[in-house]
Amino acid sequence: MNCVEIKLTISEYLDNELSKEKEIVFFTHISGCPDCREEFKHQNLIQHTIKLHQHEVTSRLEQKIFNSLKQEKKSSIYKWIALPVPVYINCILGMVIIIIALFSFLQLSALRNDLSDIRAKYHTALEGIQYQSQQMDLLMSNMPAVKIIGQPLKIIN
Amino acid sequence: MQNSSIIDFTLNYNKFKKPLFNYVLKIVKSEMFAEDIVHDVFLNFYNNLSLIRNPERIEIWIFTTARNEIFSHFRKNKNKNEENIEQYEDKIHIYNFAEDYEQQELINILEIELSKMDSSQNETYYLKEYSNLSYKEIAEIMDITENLVRSRIYKVRQKLKDVIKKIYKD
């Protein structure tokens, strides 16, 4: 590595962007080159000066930030409370519709149950009638033949 | 906000408040505007903390948001900016960081030299010096190449070194 390349490497080293292998080459050169060593010393001093001497964050700013954060916390709850009126009306209407739908569903279920009861009773009655009819047929078919006494009826035209 | 989120916010706030404030201050050159911008960045951070899933991305998020706020500031305050810069440059001499007179002089000289440089150069330099971001991450934030980041920082350092060399020669 020559001195021109080393100058660029100094910058990368100060920024922690130098690989371990390049670091070895870098320090080997620095140890043997007074000019590059001088350059490294100056760059180090500049970086140290800039990094070390920073403004503190003012208490005014910190107070402002934390007051705003408190407001943010409150406002997220407040947002739910202070909704415009139409939103509340829509919510109430929605709930009413849901209640009506639920009520209708329950009524419909009850009606269905009644209908099935009626159907069952109808089928039972129908079976009863069919049974009686069968009994009548049996009775009629088992009765003996009877001679009818008397004149046959005249058919008047 | 849950307790763990509050802890995360507080930890990150304490870690980044000083470097962020100094970075923004150096770019906008006004304490008042720097405070407003830093305030907005942390408020934004508080509201969006749950959306940042990767903790390693937090620093990038904070400095990217800061840059966006700075751009908005410059758009809104076009006319006021020149006044602010003059006031800031006057104030540089008032800030006393070091008890040692020579150290203080050195800081002042470096600050003045940096404030004279092209904004794209010194912004890259300040972003590197005040954060732990890599060249790659800075390139992502500034939407430039890694080599350009490397080259800008190098050029700034060379200019500062030339000034230091003159002082030590004298």
**ipTM confidence:** 0.81
Distance, CA of A31 to CA of A37 (rounded, Å):
7
The answer to whether the beta carbons of residues B167 and B109 sit under 8 Å apart is yes
Judge contact between A3 and A26, C-beta under 8 A.
no
Tens of pLDDT, residue by residue over A126-141, are 998 888 888 888 888 8
pLDDT of res. B83: 53
Min Cα separation B52/chain A (Å): 18
Q: Which DSSP state fits A152?
A: P
Between CA B134 and CA A32 the distance in angstroms is 29
pLDDT at B96: 52
DSSP A28-44: HHHHH-HHHHHHHHHHH
CA distance A112 to chain B (A): 50
DSSP for B92-142, written as a single string: TTT----SSHHHHHHHHHHHHHHHHS-HHHHHHHHHHHHS---HHHHHHHH
User: B1 near A73, Cβ under 8 Å?
Assistant: yes
pLDDT more than 90, % of chain B: 55
> Which residue pairs from A43-49 have beta carbons closer than 8 angstroms and sit at least 24 positions apart in sequence?
A43/A10, A43/A11, A43/A14, A43/B157, A43/B161, A44/A14, A45/B106, A45/B164, A46/B110, A46/B157, A46/B160, A46/B161, A46/B164, A47/A14, A47/B129, A49/B103, A49/B106, A49/B107, A49/B110
- Judge residue B89's burial from the number of C-beta atoms within 10 Å of its C-beta, 0-12 exposed, 13-18 middle, 19 or more buried: middle
B165 touches chain A (CB under 8 A): yes
Residues of A at the B interface, defined by Cβ within 8 angstroms? 7-8, 10-12, 14-17, 39, 42-43, 45-47, 49-58, 60-62, 64-65, 68-69, 72-73
Q: How many CB pairs (< 8 A) connect A and B?
A: 84
How far from the centroid of its chain's Cα atoms is residue A21's Cα? 52
CA distance B167 to B122: 21
Rounded Cα distance between A154 and B14, Å, is 126
**Of A142-151, B63-72, B135-144, B151-160, minimum mean pLDDT range:** A142-151
> CA A36 → CA A8, A89, B140, B144, B169, distances in Å?
11, 78, 32, 30, 17
- Contact (CB, 8 A) for B81 and B119: no
A149 pLDDT tier (thresholds 50, 70, 90):
low
State the average pLDDT for chain A: 85
Handedness of CA A41, A12, A14, B161 (dihedral sign): positive
Model confidence over A43-94: pLDDT tens digits?
999 999 898 888 899 899 999 999 998 887 766 655 556 566 777 788 889 9
pLDDT of residue A54: 86
Interchain proximity A11–B157, CB inside 8 Å: yes
